[in-house]
Structure 1
Amino acid sequence: MSGSTSFDYFRREAGSFPGSLSVMWVGEGGGSGDGRFLFVPDPRNPLVFKRPDRDGKGRTIKPRIMYTDGGSIPKIAQAFNGFSPWGYAPAYMIHDWLFVAHHCVVDAAADARQLETADITFDDSIEILGEAIQALVASRQVAANDVTASTITSAVGTPIARNLWDRQGACEGSHVSKEHRSIAESAIPGTSAVAGRVPARGGGVEARRPTSRIITRVSF
């Protein structure tokens, strides 16, 4: 596609993924992905991506609780081997977090965790996705599928993706609601202490809701 960022997946080094990934379903999505989900970091074993340490410039990326729809793969494409919104779920969570954080940086509404990614560019986000997918292959969490991986990393470099990266006014819409924070806390105790406690009427902490079902969990 004209105007797409050039990216060679096959030249990416693998990063690494300590920690665990937990995802909860919280509602219907749009025309891509399988719905709207909530990425919930486990405070005892949070998901962290460590970039390759090239020239001593390695860094870590630690996503916080956020909404996600997986890899935003249109349902018609999910019939093909490898093209699932959750095929490379940990890599997608890192990529999603970079977008969420960048939107808040653009809107001058970023908190300390989001500001840690302020120097990451759109082109960097594509490289990081490639490194994250390579990490999953290297750790044998997924089978090697060079066609799928290279197609996905190429797709996130399109002009449409760049426009989404630079979109203004998106930060507020990414804020996780009090209701969903409460649900996350009931599923993984301690989440609210990491993401910010959920206020209740009267100044206390909102009562826990019944334990919710986690639909995806991966540990490294």
Structure 2
Amino acid sequence: MTIASCGSVSALTLGLPNSSAVPAEKATLPKGLFVARIPVSAKTKQRLANDIETITMLSLLRPSNTRLAVGTRIPEVLAIGLRLHAKNAAIPTDIVELIAMQRKSGIVFVCVRDADFEGTKRQECAFAVRRALPGRAGHTPTFKVFVSDWKPAGEAMLDIGDPAVDSIDALWESLCSQVMLGSASPTALDARMTRRMQAAQLAEQIDKLTRDHQRAKNPEQRNEIFTKLHKAKNQLEELRKLEA
């Protein structure tokens, strides 16, 4: 069997089981499939037509080919390749959103582009997932597309071997964690996401307060800003301890 590939990337180069690889003859997904049933903006249609060269199903991870328990939330996990048309292209988050919102499956998007590198050209790969932001139970979830850094295509891999990955649900959490946080652990991902977002907000606050403190002339104002700055630094340090 010839397995599907997106550029030079396939299920095997990604480190996924051979049993999950999709045959090449069944792998190509027509672009029109994703705009046939829902309203789509003219801009997104144009990007789908012009910016995406091919859409390819690379891997289908199910209990039957992973020996993982059936998930209660995620029935299966797909790896879908997006071959980008333009050199040095950015990850097409609107296309990721368009495709992911139409399926209950977890989808890891494998984006492949040609890129300039040190005077030559190389093929690069990055991952994207669409996931709900942590929120309160009972509230309508807000989704966001998260992306990884670009890597040489031959170095881009997905780890499904974390000891805590015992079900398809946990597999999805692990893959999201890899894209979003650079860690294969599926444990308490929402809590870790929340801490990461809080840390980013505190880092921005510290940067602003530092500049405000440098500009302030009034001693009372400087002391007030310094107190806020000290508090923010302590909060950031505590969050980093939890991540360690």
Superposition TM-score tier, normalisation by shorter sequence: under 0.3
* Bigger Cα Rg: 2
TM-score (norm 1): 0.24
RCO greater where, 1 or 2, for CA within 8 Å and sep 6 or more? 1
TM (norm. structure 2) is 0.23
- Decide which structure has greater strand share: 2
